[in-house]
Structure 1
């Protein structure tokens, strides 16, 4: 059985249509499935519509998170509730073509544990494409995971992987796709073309995008800490060389080297300003890791599913 996890957020006008389209495709190919609707704290009628759909169809289950946690935490919650032999989270706007679910399901039946769908091409506008491509290049260059061309935010995973995600991964300050890619399994990258004519406004605000980048980057990369160590070592060597140089000049060089009017103030101001900024920047990076450690040791849940 396949578990479809529909990510719902202000989706009142999309839930029923999404279910009907998916039902038509999966029934046509005789694929057994359950349909989980994970409402991410919507305040419109999305959850009510999901509950009505649940009453009408035996394979539909509707749940709502206690507040808006963002899509990746809805995915973690859906995986916790999924009963299928494999599972796939999907958006409610058909950006991932529903027909491709069948192809990925067939790949799973052939033995693939993790299938990562990724867009073959991006055409979201110059600015959006620029930032998206820069994001994935930074993550691929400086972290321990590698995203496919065009990036990815969904997956179809086997029951074995689902159980690992539920039992071994603490769903806080991270993203589901990052944790799937970090497990060590060899993923199958499945390219797809976005459905033409689907132009929906993104519900990922700038604040959410920045948080996702920080969570993804700091949960998968130790490069910033190593950078601080290397910078510290480099400037310690430079400082030691300057000490030797200035000591030699002071003892054996020309006294005029120091100047006649307010000697050394320019170099002092520049050096103090530079290293003050470097120290504060380094402390900020360290604070990001310490804050995440603090959140982990509190052992609070990354999401809360409301009781029915």
Structure 2
């Protein structure tokens, strides 16, 4: 199987790099005899990046350029690009050249063997030490509290089969989520491939602090119900603790020997215990309500409850 590969490039302030990226991809795929198309999705750039993309589209038959109405961030640009791909397999590329482009050939060969989803994960990253520490802490936390296990240095790229992208296009509503989390949720026994991430060729990161916070929130809340469960568990703990104090102080007050326990049960103690008990009940009730809201939230997303894999002789409808 020597199917066409679609490469989606989310472009934002990329006018200095688009031509070089296309040239490098063309050289690598031509040498490997891999037919490909390049889908450039401009994510609301204001520096003329889309004009460069349009020039490339006019010059090369395998380049298509699209422009979003505003800056939505890279993951939403990818979802938009998935609607336009025509290849048998799809991958994504950044214009900063941190991911070695030769990796696409390795993933393509793995796809030819039957892999539906391939995740390249970082074993080394040439980033500032602050970014490495914060990123490692984030992925470790996510692996602990979410439904998925992430590589220690994270992942942000993938190589997927046409069947997978068709499912994404038809069944996933790209709102407050990320491409990686949706692909992890789908299953298909993904293959993982290690690589060493290089230094960015971009002079300045276009992922501002605000965008990183938004991405982290989308990643966190789209994969974890931990905050809701924490409210419930806190309510249970506070209620049980307060109930134990009620039993203990009631026993001391009416049946025990206060001198032995060296305790004097005052009226305000009972008041505080009762407030703690009912505060725990309120937290527990909020947690239960939140569980229902969380399930409504999941239903509103219209994600599939299950996915039936296609047989070899079937096509995705």
**What TM-score range do you get, normalising by the shorter chain?**
0.7 to 0.9
How far apart are 1:132 and its partner, in Å? 0.3
Partner of 2:194: 191
After TM superposition, the structure 1 = structure 2 runs for residues 22-41 of structure 1, keeping only pairs within 5 Å, are 22-41=25-44
The match for 1:219 among 219, 222, 225 is 222
Residue 154, structure 1, aligned to residue 157, structure 2: yes
Q: TM-score, normalised by structure 1?
A: 0.84
Residues 2-25 of structure 1 deviation map (CA, whole Å, 9 limit, x = unaligned) = 001111001011111111111111
SS at match of 1:182: helix
Partner of 1:69: 72
Residue 241, structure 1, aligned to residue 244, structure 2: yes
Structure with greater contact order relative to length (CA < 8 Å, sep ≥ 6): 1
Q: In 1, distance between residues paired with 2:202 and 2:54?
A: 27
The match for 1:7 among 10, 20, 28 is 10
Go from structure 1 to structure 2 and tell me whether the alpha carbon gap of 1:102 and 1:293 turns closer, same or farther (over 3 Å shift). closer
Go from structure 1 to structure 2 and tell me whether the alpha carbon gap of 1:116 and 1:24 turns closer, same or farther (over 3 Å shift). same
The match for 2:185 among 175, 182, 187 is 182
Residues 199-247 of structure 1 deviation map (CA, whole Å, 9 limit, x = unaligned) = 6422111221111111111111122222222222222211111111222
Q: In 1, distance between residues paired with 2:197 and 2:242?
A: 55
Alpha-carbon contact 1:86-1:159 (below 8 Å) kept: yes
Q: In 2, distance between residues paired with 1:239 and 1:210?
A: 37
Residue 142, structure 1, aligned to residue 131, structure 2: no
How far apart are 1:99 and its partner, in Å? 1.6
Go from structure 1 to structure 2 and tell me whether the alpha carbon gap of 1:43 and 1:292 turns closer, same or farther (over 3 Å shift). farther
How far apart are 1:42 and its partner, in Å? 0.8
Q: TM-score, normalised by structure 2?
A: 0.82
Residues 85-121 of structure 1 deviation map (CA, whole Å, 9 limit, x = unaligned) = 0011111111111121111111111111111111111
Q: In 2, distance between residues paired with 1:190 and 1:288?
A: 38
Q: In 2, distance between residues paired with 1:206 and 1:286?
A: 31
Q: In 2, distance between residues paired with 1:38 and 1:46?
A: 10
Q: In 1, distance between residues paired with 2:105 and 2:229?
A: 44
RMSD of aligned Cα (Å): 3.2
How many positions carry a matched residue from both structures? 296
Tell me, which stretches of 5 or more residues in structure 2 are unaligned? 303-317
Go from structure 1 to structure 2 and tell me whether the alpha carbon gap of 1:264 and 1:58 turns closer, same or farther (over 3 Å shift). same
